[in-house]
Structure 1
Amino acid sequence: MPGSGHQDYQGLADEFADRIAAGALRPGERLPTQRAYARGRGIAPSTATRVYRELVRRGLATGEVGRGTFVRAAPAAAGPALAEPSPAPIDLELNYPVIPEQAALLAGALGPLLRADALDDALRPIGVAGTAAARTRFAALAADEGWTPAPESVLFTGNGRQAAAAALAALVPRGGRLGVEALTYPGIKGLARQLGVTLVALPMDARGVIPEALAAVHRATPLRAVYLQPRSHNPLGLSMDAERRDELVSVLRQQDLCAVEDAVWSFLAPPDAAALAPAAPDRVVRIDSLSKRLAPGLSVGFLIAPPALRAELATAVRAGAALPGAFALEAAVRWLGDGTVERIRAGKRADAAARQRLARACLDPVAPLGPAPRVHGPRPHAYPCSYSFWWELPEPWRAETFVAAAARRGIAVTPGSAFAADPRSTPRAVRIGLASPPPGVLEHALTTLARLCAAGP
């Protein structure tokens, strides 16, 4: 029945297919959010989810939660052929690094944990404070620039996204304003929508957020907090220097602002990269995770909480049902204790550097990167150890058009608009995630993208 929450999701997907075939929805065009679509059609959110999943299955759309859904290609005609699943793409959107030796390294520490007595302890419920051993190990992991947080400042969550959600919920009330880098992690955009938080784009240059701009934005309409990625920024790959860090910390203190420092990718940062928390441990909440350092399937998220905010952050973790898994936490303690985490980190740094060299060799001759930063961020030549490659496209390409053209060749990349904090911003760039495919597959994909870019829209 039209307009009903019980309307057949296949029929609704067919309507999208017809509009795509007719050219009413063009390649690269962003679809409404699932929530907005459900509200507009008067259907259940679960039905909207099934519609969008069906579009992805048919190869008509691409995207994921937190970034949006985009028209992937314009088929020649609607009809039964549209229901055929598309070939599995080479996924350069998701960015989960895996090195060949990591499984063997991780397995070594799990043997003792599988004994009946140890397993019994590891499968019991656990709270936000974890265990004394976990707090000590993770405090040591977070040690930075001569600063080591107190073990009691460590709080645990199931993953990094939950840590970010707890930090935002504790610092920014519904309707409040959160300052973020002009190009930011898409997951923060999704969390802000869920929490009713307004994101405010902060201007950047090649060294990160501009301190004077942060102060001016806050004076114009006060922010409740800021969210920053000072090291190994996603998607740009840049890391902040100590001088810029100190300038930002000075603004935080002058304006009485707290910051959330996302350190999930910081294990790839160069030695001279500056972190926020060591310079302002009383007003910086650091969030981190082991998913990128180790493996996404057995994740542990954690926060380093300033003493004045610890109780509020712990409450936010519990309220979001974001408590850690005891087994994963105990495994992480063992990996941290026997050097496994550091060995895998070293391997991934070498792997990221090799993949960056490959990307530059394949893509730079087509759209030269050059030495100078553009408006939307710096060029990746300066950041040789990153799994993110920010590729600014030459005229007359538009990012969404390039994404759709790449999808027709079986390659999924992310349009720059997915990272733009200001929805009115449309960077003519794409982010290429280098971490997930095997090197040979990655080289094939990059070569294909280079040829596509050179051929023009």
Structure 2
Amino acid sequence: MGLEQHPASAASVDLAFNYPSLPGQAESLREGLRAIAASGDLDALLHSAPQGGRPHERQTAARHLRNREIRVAAEQVLIVNGAQQGLAVSLLALLQPGDILAVDALTYPGLKTLAQVHRLDLEALPQHNGQMDLDALQALCRRRPVRALYCMPTLHNPLGTVMPLAERRRLAQLAREHDLLLIEDGAYAFLAEPAPPPLQTLAPERTLYISGLSKSVASGLRLGFIVAPLEMIPALERAIRVSTWSTPSLTVTLGCRWIESGLVDSLEEQKRNDARSRQQLARRVLKGCDYQAYGSSYFLWLKLPEGRRADAVVAALEHQGVTVTSAEPFATTAHVPQALRLALGSIGLPLLEQALEKVRNEITR
């Protein structure tokens, strides 16, 4: 299933989930709500929006996505209740039970849960140096009728890798050769700048690009975006209608105002800097430990010393008041690495330093 199986207790220091919030964000929310209340255009907020958003809202989302080098017409953008719903809608609209979905051997737990709910056949692809094995993908496509591939080329969760441009081009070529639908998850892409162009720009006719503001702005702002080829839009709109009908107008209005004002751009830059500071702290505290991370991401992948079992380390740290996540929720095969994913974004730096010291002491004792 997913990480929701292992929530942090109220008394624990949370290194399992990322809820990064910067000083002043609550005041930004207060000011945004005041501005909406004073606008005099509240009647529209009392009515359901069209599936996928109103035209001007989709245009605003399209402008925001240019930050990720995605340049599409507003008609190709759908607004949803966060990137997770974007994934759910995409699977519901475009895949059938029993379809084969290729994924990394370590992948986003929420995708695993969705695949189970939709009764999809997951095929795990091995990874080398944190990158998808494209030779294995080609062999799989020759052996089985793969319908789609899910990936996180910028920035992989949990490994923190960014797929090089040459591999992106080869992946786009393989997708065309084998008629694969590409589902590109860009939830953490705002943290990796500059980055190679997204798959959506390399194979736009077969790529769904999914992202949102929950990671870059606030987890409570459930606002996401799907970029899709025009011919897929009607099916996606139907899936939105049968799942949640539409995204709440108040949420969309607030998110669009923040995009238009430049606040979202500012928060993304601040969070890249904040994440960079946290990675620098982790590098100092975990010196000598075997881990990998992107320099401005909010998580890291910590491999345990030989002989240490992740479940025992998780339990020991929980006893010390620190909640961490093992590799199990991310694994799509029976082979589960003895490793931890540490989320760095939910607590202040002094508390983070103390928690990382406990992790280091536990795995090196």
Q: 2:57 aligns with which of 120, 134, 139?
A: 134
Counterpart check, 1:448 vs 2:358 = yes
State the shift of 1:208 in Å.
2.3
Residue of structure 1 equivalent to 2:321: 410
Compared with structure 1, are the counterparts of its residues 287 and 71 closer, same or farther at alpha carbon in structure 2 (3 Å cutoff)?
closer
Unaligned runs of 5+ in 1: 1-64, 73-85, 370-378
Could you tell me whether the CA contact under 8 Å between 2:154 and 2:195 is conserved in 1? no
Q: 2:194 aligns with which of 247, 258, 271?
A: 271
Q: 1:433 aligns with which of 340, 343, 355?
A: 343
State the shift of 1:396 in Å.
1.3
Could you tell me whether the CA contact under 8 Å between 1:93 and 1:433 is conserved in 2? yes
Residue of structure 2 equivalent to 1:21: none
Measure the CA separation in 2 of the matches of 1:169 and 1:196.
10
Q: 2:173 aligns with which of 244, 247, 250?
A: 250
| Secondary structure at the counterpart of residue 288 of structure 1 | strand
Measure the CA separation in 1 of the matches of 2:183 and 2:301.
23
Measure the CA separation in 2 of the matches of 1:105 and 1:205.
43
Aligned residue runs from structure 1 range 185-334, under 5 A = 185-206=108-129, 208-321=131-244, 323-334=246-257
State the shift of 1:68 in Å.
6.8
State the shift of 1:352 in Å.
0.5
Counterpart amino acid of 1:323?
S
State the shift of 1:113 in Å.
0.4
Counterpart amino acid of 2:319?
R
Q: 1:88 aligns with which of 11, 33, 37?
A: 11
State the shift of 1:123 in Å.
3.0
State the shift of 1:336 in Å.
0.6
State the shift of 1:307 in Å.
1.4
State the shift of 1:115 in Å.
2.5
Q: Percent identity?
A: 35
Q: Which moved more, 1:116-125 or 1:305-314?
A: 116-125
Unaligned runs of 5+ in 2: none
| Secondary structure at the counterpart of residue 152 of structure 1 | helix
Aligned residue runs from structure 1 range 20-35, under 5 A = none
Compared with structure 1, are the counterparts of its residues 99 and 144 closer, same or farther at alpha carbon in structure 2 (3 Å cutoff)?
closer
Counterpart amino acid of 2:280?
R
Compared with structure 1, are the counterparts of its residues 70 and 440 closer, same or farther at alpha carbon in structure 2 (3 Å cutoff)?
closer
Counterpart amino acid of 2:40?
D
Could you tell me whether the CA contact under 8 Å between 1:181 and 1:421 is conserved in 2? yes
Compared with structure 1, are the counterparts of its residues 250 and 71 closer, same or farther at alpha carbon in structure 2 (3 Å cutoff)?
closer
Measure the CA separation in 2 of the matches of 1:194 and 1:116.
42
Measure the CA separation in 2 of the matches of 1:142 and 1:363.
35
Residue of structure 1 equivalent to 2:300: 389
| Secondary structure at the counterpart of residue 146 of structure 2 | coil
Residue of structure 2 equivalent to 1:359: 282
CA distances 1:381-417 after superposition (whole Å, capped 9, x unpaired): xx20111110001021111111111111111100012
Counterpart check, 1:336 vs 2:259 = yes
Counterpart amino acid of 1:426?
V
Measure the CA separation in 1 of the matches of 2:356 and 2:68.
37
CA distances 1:351-373 after superposition (whole Å, capped 9, x unpaired): 011111111211133x244xxxx
State the shift of 1:145 in Å.
6.9
State the shift of 1:117 in Å.
2.6
Measure the CA separation in 1 of the matches of 2:358 and 2:283.
14
Counterpart check, 1:66 vs 2:7 = no
Could you tell me whether the CA contact under 8 Å between 2:52 and 2:246 is conserved in 1? no
Measure the CA separation in 1 of the matches of 2:290 and 2:147.
40
State the shift of 1:144 in Å.
5.7
Counterpart amino acid of 2:230?
P
Measure the CA separation in 2 of the matches of 1:359 and 1:343.
24
Measure the CA separation in 2 of the matches of 1:242 and 1:253.
17
Compared with structure 1, are the counterparts of its residues 390 and 263 closer, same or farther at alpha carbon in structure 2 (3 Å cutoff)?
same
State the shift of 1:130 in Å.
1.0
Could you tell me whether the CA contact under 8 Å between 1:159 and 1:291 is conserved in 2? yes
Which has the greater radius of gyration? 1
Q: Which moved more, 1:444-453 or 1:114-123?
A: 114-123
Compared with structure 1, are the counterparts of its residues 283 and 109 closer, same or farther at alpha carbon in structure 2 (3 Å cutoff)?
same
State the shift of 1:127 in Å.
2.1
TM (norm. structure 2) is 0.95
Alignment coverage as a number of residue pairs: 365
Measure the CA separation in 2 of the matches of 1:295 and 1:145.
19
Larger RCO (CA within 8 A; separation ≥ 6): 2
**In angstroms, what is the RMSD of aligned CA positions?**
1.9
Counterpart amino acid of 1:428?
Q
Measure the CA separation in 2 of the matches of 1:433 and 1:70.
13
Counterpart amino acid of 1:320?
S
| Secondary structure at the counterpart of residue 195 of structure 2 | coil
Measure the CA separation in 1 of the matches of 2:175 and 2:108.
21
Measure the CA separation in 1 of the matches of 2:118 and 2:278.
36
| Secondary structure at the counterpart of residue 397 of structure 1 | coil
Counterpart amino acid of 1:412?
T
| Secondary structure at the counterpart of residue 66 of structure 2 | coil
Counterpart amino acid of 1:334?
R
Counterpart amino acid of 1:142?
L
